[in-house]
Structure 1
Amino acid sequence: MKLIFIRAGSAILLSEFGERPVNIGDVVVRGANTLCGSEPEGSITVTTLYLDRDYVIDQVFWQHAALLSDRLDAQDFAGDLYSEPAQILHLGQDRAGMLMPWLDELVALSLDGPSPERFCRLQALLFAVLDVVRPYVRTTPKRRSPTQRRATHPGTPSLRKFAPLRAEARQAVELLRGAPDRRWTLQELAAAVHLSSSQLGRVFVDAYGKTPITYLMTLRAEHLARLLRETDIPIEQAMREVGWHSRGHAARMFCQAVGVTPILYRQLSR
């Protein structure tokens, strides 16, 4: 997940929550596999913290150890409690201002990569920041959005280890990135990397946290966004170039990924 702290300027964010303005003192919280674009209003300065999902689940477990039996229980608990894939937290300039020295020190300590000597200080700074931010994070009984349910299929903690990606997963990604406009099916992609469809699905989700077809949808949305920003070609032509031949389907997929329709995205990007 990401925590994006707005330090100066303002922007319009485009994500699953739709189109929202952000200003100094706001913090954007984004879950894993959540697309989010921005259109700065003049200029904007941010500091971004990246938190590993397993690390966050581990902290939830220890925070609620009296209620939870194990980390798998903590994973379900966190999924129920923090189900929104993206939020904007309005801390205010004064409260956010007290975080800036801690954020600056976190950045300075991270420049040279991981260091055992700095581990405790990094942990202390991170927890100090989270202690201020956490009360503003909304909880809700609602489950994840439809896009998140389709896009996110994390493997169990025991399977997601720090290990090289399977060659078949890397090859599948290269094929999708090399020809995102092709009408791929899971069966065709699996045959190309010499796996069964079910095997490729498991290998790919463990490697990238989403299914191959959802990964392809994300690629197409990113390519379409770039064409809408950087070219003047008609929207329908841009949709065909990225592999979507139905305008209605393309608009729905793009809106799910980015938060606004292609027409509005082009208007905002100009």
Structure 2
Amino acid sequence: MRGSLRKQVGPRVFDCVAFLVVRDGSVVLTVGERHHPIAFGHAVLIAPRTVFTYEPEGTATLTTLLVDVDYLLDQLYWQHPDVFADRYVVRQYAGALFPDAAHVLHVNGEDANRLILVLDEMTTLYERREYPASYFWLQARLSMLLGTLAPHVRAAPD
């Protein structure tokens, strides 16, 4: 989903991981009692079943990408097969690694621009609705997106 907004959005909740990417402007994201000011160069990972709202400061453009939890856990396993005994163990550690319901990533400069280009390509492929022909192209773009975000993710300290 991509769109410009001028008024508060929410409350929203999804049963998957939501990635919010600010493309232009700034918004205040509210998760529980916490307020997160986010702007261009920020991406936010929001945990499944987390209620959140956001309100633009002026006009803002965001892209929201929804990704299945099991898919992301599999990707985390395959990224670190030397750390996890099997892919089912990853679920036990994910909550400890990322205890906050909203994880704000600071993705500035070249990575922020790359992120927007990848999201634009994903949106175009999705809107064409050429299934199953576009499936692997979407899969490749999702891998590019995760590869761009991964260096900016910081796990909670022990």
- TM-score over 0.5 for the pair: yes
Deviations 1:38-78 (A, max 9, x none): 12111110111111001111111222223323232121122
Alpha-carbon distance between aligned partners in 1 of 2:129 and 2:89, rounded to the nearest angstrom:
32
1:73 aligns with 2:94: no
SS of match in other structure, 1:105? helix
Within-5 A mapping of 1:34-49: 34-49=50-65
Would you say how many aligned residue pairs link Structure 1 and Structure 2? Answer: 142
Instruction: State the match for 1:87 in structure 2.
Output: 103
Structure 1 residues 114, 137: closer, same or farther in 2, change over 3 A?
farther
Which ranges in structure 2 are unaligned for 5 or more consecutive residues?
1-16
TM-score (norm 2): 0.80
Alpha-carbon distance between aligned partners in 1 of 2:130 and 2:98, rounded to the nearest angstrom:
29
Instruction: State the match for 2:18 in structure 1.
Output: 2
Q: Report the alpha carbon displacement of residue 21 of structure 1 after superposing the two structures with TM.
A: 1.1
Structure 1 residues 60, 94: closer, same or farther in 2, change over 3 A?
closer
Instruction: State the match for 2:134 in structure 1.
Output: 118
Instruction: State the structure with bigger RCO (CA 8 A, min sep 6), 1 or 2.
Output: 2
TM-score (norm 1): 0.49
Aligned counterpart for 2:40 among listed residues 24, 38, 41: 24
How many percent identity over aligned positions? Answer: 34
Structure 1 residues 67, 3: closer, same or farther in 2, change over 3 A?
same
Alpha-carbon distance between aligned partners in 2 of 1:114 and 1:58, rounded to the nearest angstrom:
26
Quick one: which amino acid aligns to residue 84 of structure 2? L
- Cα RMSD after superposing both structures: 1.9
Moved more, 109-118 or 119-128: 109-118
SS of match in other structure, 2:112? helix
Runs in 1 of length 4+ with deviation above 6 angstroms? none
